[in-house]
Structure 1
């Protein structure tokens, strides 16, 4: 089935509106499962990276006509990819996961070197029940393969690895999480979530003073980065040296 889009530059609040009037089911001959992703279930259009298609196969599945429409509507496919990945995050915050998946998938097809679709799809996949952490991490690693210094991707990779550590208690997972978060902070020292993730790592390393230092650094950058459940755990180990949290 072909994809039908309606691109309308410079209308309504200065944005392009995408109308998906056809189902995004793809021909069976084009399917190819990703090695680290779970077997696709449900419509392929709602699977991360269209169920594991290679980029070239995905372009063929979408069709030359749609790609031509994109080329006419945007200065470049990279610009179009950024537009659709931004729309994906908008729908993600609006709790419209299916629409967000479609936008992220299109953004990925248009520019596989754009790290945002991988991150957005990883977030969405993590929200689905019974998704193995390895599947989420696989998407993040694909994003890091094209953007190895992306602070947000590195932070998400650290968070996922840390969650695995909480289950396995394997020191190598804690070490890997620490490596990811240090790289994230090296890339962007203003990443508040990275500071909070590092605080959790220091907590598990029983370095509670350093954990509090990380908490306050993240708090000073963005108050919404605080995890009050974690703060309760940390206060049970060591009262806040600055006395801000009691």
Structure 2
């Protein structure tokens, strides 16, 4: 009887250790990372994902439609200054449709808010690869490159800022804000011809988009 008791105790302990190990194997906080951090999920998390997808299959005509709904929710939380909830909704949308370009744009904006600039650019590029016709994504890329330029003073980042602003303006040629940003970017270059060119264009659209400092630089010979 004592042998059986010891045997059962060992078995019970082994089961408890196995359960603890299983729980420890579940990576934590991954729903706050783009694409769940691209890590291997535990069985419990996979089960939860499958249940979520199954529920969406019942509620929506397609997973594409379901993903669009969750993207809409994600942007709502984003603009309501709730980045963690926004990331969770974008991740759920990603589970449903990995070919939705707005998901990667959302991911990029969220990590950019945390100043993870190079990762944000990588995510924006994923978005552009799927849909190269969204001017706002190029604007977001330009913003990240612009911040990298301010931090490092490396001219290649300024060049990439200008390049992406021009791509955005090609798709949205009446965007006064982006023309103002482009004008400001050229203020950092020695040659001022482009600065004056884009200053004139911006003034025709909205002169409020040009700061007094940039006007002062443009006025210099």
Shorter-chain TM-score tier: 0.7 to 0.9
User: Does the CA-based 8 Å contact 1:159-1:197 persist in structure 2?
Assistant: no
> What is the aligned counterpart of 1:63 among 49, 53, 62?
49
Q: Quote how far apart the aligned CAs of 1:219 are.
A: 2.9
CA distance in 2, matches of 1:30, 1:146: 31
Sort the Cα spacing of 1:74 and 1:120 in 2 relative to 1 into closer, same or farther, 3 A: same
Q: How does 1:178-217 map to 2 (within 5 A)?
A: 178-205=162-189, 206=192, 207-216=194-203
Sort the Cα spacing of 1:90 and 1:217 in 2 relative to 1 into closer, same or farther, 3 A: farther
CA distance in 1, matches of 2:31, 2:108: 15
CA distance in 2, matches of 1:107, 1:161: 27
Q: Is 2:56 aligned against 1:76?
A: no
Spell out, residue by residue over 1:58-84, the C-alpha distance to the aligned partner (whole angstroms, 9 max, x if none): x94653222121122112212211111
**Corresponding position of 1:140:** 124
> What is the aligned counterpart of 2:108 among 111, 114, 122?
122
Structure of higher CA gyration radius: 2
* Count, aligned residues: 191
User: Does the CA-based 8 Å contact 2:111-2:117 persist in structure 1?
Assistant: no
Spell out, residue by residue over 1:166-200, the C-alpha distance to the aligned partner (whole angstroms, 9 max, x if none): 23333322222222222222222244443233222
Spell out, residue by residue over 1:53-107, the C-alpha distance to the aligned partner (whole angstroms, 9 max, x if none): 59xx9x9465322212112211221221111111111111111111111111111
Sort the Cα spacing of 1:217 and 1:79 in 2 relative to 1 into closer, same or farther, 3 A: farther
CA distance in 2, matches of 1:192, 1:78: 33
From the two aligned structures, give the one with the greater helix fraction: 2
Spell out, residue by residue over 1:8-57, the C-alpha distance to the aligned partner (whole angstroms, 9 max, x if none): xxxxxxxxxxxxxxxxxxx87787xxxxxxxxxx7111112211259xx9
Sort the Cα spacing of 1:43 and 1:181 in 2 relative to 1 into closer, same or farther, 3 A: same
Q: Report the TM-score when normalising by structure 2.
A: 0.73
**Corresponding position of 2:29:** 43
> What is the aligned counterpart of 1:96 among 74, 82, 86?
82
CA distance in 2, matches of 1:136, 1:119: 8
Aligned-CA RMSD value = 2.9
- Structure 2: give runs of 5+ residues left out of the alignment: 1-22
User: Does the CA-based 8 Å contact 2:102-2:127 persist in structure 1?
Assistant: yes
Sort the Cα spacing of 1:113 and 1:29 in 2 relative to 1 into closer, same or farther, 3 A: farther
